[in-house]
Amino acid sequence: MGRAPCCDKNGLKKGPWTPEEDSKLINYIQIHGPGNWRTLPKNAGLERCGKSCRLRWTNYLRPDIKRGRFSFEEEEIIIQLHSIMGNKWSAIAARLPGRTDNEIKNYWNTHIRKRLLRMGIDPVTHAPRLDLLDISSVLGSLLGNTSLLNLQGLLGAQALMNPELLKMATTLLSLENENPELVSQNLQHMIQAGNSQVQAQTPIDSSLPQFSSQFQMPMSTNNLERFSGDLTNMGFSDSQVPSCIAGNIDLLQQNQSEFLGDPTFLKNLGYDSVFSTPSSSTTPLNSSSTHLNNSSREEERDSYCSDLFNFEIPENLDLSNLL
């Protein structure tokens, strides 16, 4: 049957609004208030359809609209909410004061979505997908790193080429994006538990450098399972957590000594602060950095993510203990 158009579009103007049109619309709404969009254009002296007026008002002219780029915090909120709600832009916008659904939708499609794809994360499911991962950039950063040869010895070439390893990396990256503080805290919790196991079971050679004892921490299957449970308790859905963490438990049982059993794996993924300052967050997110220009902000956010693939080996790390 079809619905009748909201207005007769013949002769009505389309396209970008002029300052004069904006002024007319603002003046009218200031006097009469928003609403009654069908009759508003005629009463306000605008050659626009009511729908166009409503969109112009709600998406651009409303006095409580917050203009300007999104802060890191806002971006985090969007990613978190999107992982829960999907493309429910209006629902997401309701939790971001001053932002419109249209603005959030645009920002997602032009910035966040692309970055997740580069990171190998499906922007729809928020799950790691190897087929989306920009392998060339990952390998490029690895090949540009002189520590790569050591890394191969450290992790084993088999582990390096293991798609599950990359999956794990992107998983941690995804989770950290969604809740870096809690992920950091849980990693620290897990590491402390691992350290206590080491001290209880295997005496640490006191001649080893201080950090070396930390790097002796084994990440046990039990710890990983508990980490998975902790993440669930943190609010990550069952579909998110097991697919990324628990899904690796079987693999861990097979390859524990190859990579996850080696705590440098996490450190190399960018969790330096987890090892050095227990209470600090692993994320550099900072709202004060909103003064940065667009390109540097984008680079910062990108490098923040890609750093997880910078496998930097501490110079004073005694690799012989690990090989």
Partner DNA sequence: AACGTCCTCAACCGCTGTAGA
Partner DNA sequence: ATCTACAGCGGTTGAGGACGT
- Could you list the residues that contact DNA (CB under 7 A)? 1, 3-4, 6, 9, 13-17, 35-39, 48, 50-52, 54-56, 58-60, 69, 87-91, 101-103, 105-107, 109-111, 114, 294-295, 298
Q: Where are the beta strands (DSSP E) in the chain?
A: 119-121, 128-133
Residue 106 C-beta: closest distance to DNA, Å? 4
Pairing outcome for strands 128-133 and 119-121 = antiparallel
19 secondary structure, DSSP code: H
Q: Please spell the DSSP secondary structure of 115-179, one letter per residue.
A: HHHHEEE-TTT--EEEEEE-HHHHHHHHHT-TTHHHHHHHH-HHHHT-HHHHHHHHHHHHHHHH-
37 or 259: CB nearest DNA: 37
Sequence-distant (6+) residues with CB within 8 A of 305 are 115, 118, 119, 173, 177
3-state helix, strand, coil in the chain (%, to 5): 60, 5, 35
18 or 254: CB nearest DNA: 18
Residue 263 C-beta: closest distance to DNA, Å? 37
